Amino acid sequence: MTRKLALITGASRGFGAALAEELAAQDWHVIPVARTTGALEELDDRIKARGGAGATLAPMDVTDIDAMRHLCRSIHDRWGGLDLWVNCAIHVPPMTPADHLDPKDWSKTVATGITVPGQLIPFVSPLLQATETGTAVHLDDPNAGKFLGAYAAAKAAQRALFGAWAQETANLGTLRVLRFTPAPMPTATRARFYPGEDRTALTPCRDEALRLIETLG
């Protein structure tokens, strides 16, 4: 297979789905991961309608470590390596003061936003290092503030984890670890948090996906 290969965790909608669609349109083969099978199938339909390179759908929960281990092993066995991993998977609980955090929401946020990246990096790193252009991208959001404490904590932990990984690999020349901070986008999650907001002032997910692709070179 001569096409570049991208793994996108958290790709059922929003930025992750837009990125998968735009990469496929630029002749990448994409592996979008999400729990919602129907959303992945709709993404696949859009890719095919645009004549994209194609997708290998991975309908699974990223918190299922055995499933993710099997997926990474399958990528190795089928393609031998991976050119790009973009981690968009995150759980965003309802807005609430820090002293009213629901234990179940906290646990799910930690599991998806902190535990998953820590488990996936050891799986994905060898795949990225097996290619000449292996790149990992952390989708950041440093502006989360009041009433978003759990989400902000998960993003801060990701920032620290990927930042350490970037420093550790900077002089090896085997892969790149990048941080990408998209502009505010009209996603379903944002609409839930900011009802009544003028969404025409927000940046379309497609535009930010294209900006990341341009950043990747």
pLDDT at 153 over 60: yes
Q: Tell me the C-alpha to C-alpha distance, in Å, between residue 29 and each of 70, 114, 159, 184, 203.
A: 19, 27, 27, 27, 25
Contact call for residues 127 and 77 (beta carbons, < 8 A) = no
User: Which pLDDT value is given to residue 127?
Assistant: 98
The architecture that CATH gives domain 5-211 is 3-Layer(aba) Sandwich (3.40)
Q: Give the confidence band of 1 by pLDDT, cuts at 50, 70, 90.
A: low
pLDDT digits over 23-68, tens only? 999 999 999 999 999 999 999 999 999 998 889 999 999 999 999 9
pLDDT at 163 over 70: yes
Q: Tell me the C-alpha to C-alpha distance, in Å, between residue 90 and each of 80, 169, 207, 210.
A: 27, 24, 21, 21
Query: Which residues, other chains included, contact 26 with Cβ-Cβ below 8 Å and sequence gap of 6+?
Result: 213
SS3 144: coil
Q: Give the confidence band of 151 by pLDDT, cuts at 50, 70, 90.
A: very high
Task: Read off the tokens for 133.
Answer: 């252009």
Query: Which residues, other chains included, contact 8 with Cβ-Cβ below 8 Å and sequence gap of 6+?
Result: 16, 19, 20, 23, 30, 31, 32, 33, 85, 86, 88
pLDDT at 152 over 60: yes
CB atoms within 10 A of CB 183: 10
Task: Read off the tokens for 169.
Answer: 């690999």
pLDDT digits over 165-216, tens only? 999 999 888 899 999 999 999 998 888 888 888 999 999 999 999 999 999 9
Q: Cα 28 to chain center, whole Å?
A: 16
User: Which pLDDT value is given to residue 155?
Assistant: 94
Query: How is the chain split into domains, by residue range?
Result: 5-211
Task: Read off the tokens for 167.
Answer: 């420093």
pLDDT digits over 90-148, tens only? 998 999 999 999 999 999 999 999 999 999 999 999 999 999 889 999 999 988 788 99
Instruction: Report the percent of the chain where pLDDT is more than 90.
Output: 83
pLDDT at 82 over 80: yes
Contact call for residues 50 and 24 (beta carbons, < 8 A) = yes
